[in-house]
A and B are shown apart, each in its own frame.
Chain A
Amino acid sequence: AQTVTQSQPEMSVQEAETVTLSCTYDTSESDYYLFWYKQPPSRQMILVIRQEAYKQQNATENRFSVNFQKAAKSFSLKISDSQLGDAAMYFCALSEDSNYQLIWGAGTKLIIKP
């Protein structure tokens, strides 16, 4: 069965510095998608970045980038130049091509220190 594991319940970083959030996953399929979502206290889940498994190039969205290691089934999120507005819960999620459900990790709480 597919699983997503986030081993860091909480991370903190100084404003303007860089932080990396970890995620590992398990799937038997070759076609799948990986996501990082942000959930601020407002509860609104917001897509941060998406990676297609068939793409070797790591996805990048402004200050957010991923390190996708397909063989190791690892999908970490790097946030550069951290800002106070980045403080939130971050969830890693997996969607297999044959199964439209999103499978979620337990989340990492990111704290930004001013």
Chain B
Amino acid sequence: GAGVSQSPSNKVTEKGKDVELRCDPISGHTALYWYRQRLGQGLEFLIYFQGNSAPDKSGLPSDRFSAERTGESVSTLTIQRTQQEDSAVYLCASSSTLGGAYEQYFGPGTRLTVT
């Protein structure tokens, strides 16, 4: 079946603009994660969703970042009033359910460049 998909693949935006990044998880996966990867670094956890439970937003770096997910489908990560330090690759992953025992399948990421 299809893997995790993300759009757009690349996004260039001007400082101060809002951006919306999209993630389509694997069908049937109840858990969905967003990570940020700055150049040359490992991944930073941003947020996860599990079914209809309240999301864990503990990794969001500021109130300019927000994310939504409708049920067990598509998720969008929104960054308002973008800053240059937001430039990074944003990766989405999904798994059949929450828990370290369950493999996270990653999308190809969205490279965000803020000029």
**CB distance B43 to A33 under 8 Å?**
no
Binary flags per residue of A64-99, CB closer than 8 Å to B gives 1, else 0? 000000000000000000000000000101011100
Q: With A42-B108, A44-B106, A45-B106 as known contacts, state yes or no: A91 contacts B43, CB within 8 Å.
A: yes
Interface stretch (choices B11-19, B63-71, B95-103): B95-103
For chain A, the bracket of interface size reads: 20 to 34
Binary flags per residue of A99-114, CB closer than 8 Å to B gives 1, else 0? 0111111110000000
Q: Is A52 an interface residue (CB 8 A)?
A: yes
**CB distance A101 to B99 under 8 Å?**
no
Q: Is A47 an interface residue (CB 8 A)?
A: yes
**CB distance A106 to B108 under 8 Å?**
no
Q: Which residues of chain B are near A101, meaning CB under 8 Å?
A: 33, 45, 48, 56, 58-59
Of the residues A4, A33, A100, contact of B56 by C-beta under 8 Å: A100
**CB distance A52 to B31 under 8 Å?**
no
Q: Is B25 an interface residue (CB 8 A)?
A: no
Q: Is B112 an interface residue (CB 8 A)?
A: no
**CB distance B103 to A50 under 8 Å?**
yes
Task: List chain A positions with a Cβ less than 8 A from chain B.
Answer: 4, 6, 32-33, 42-47, 50, 52, 91, 93, 95-97, 100-107
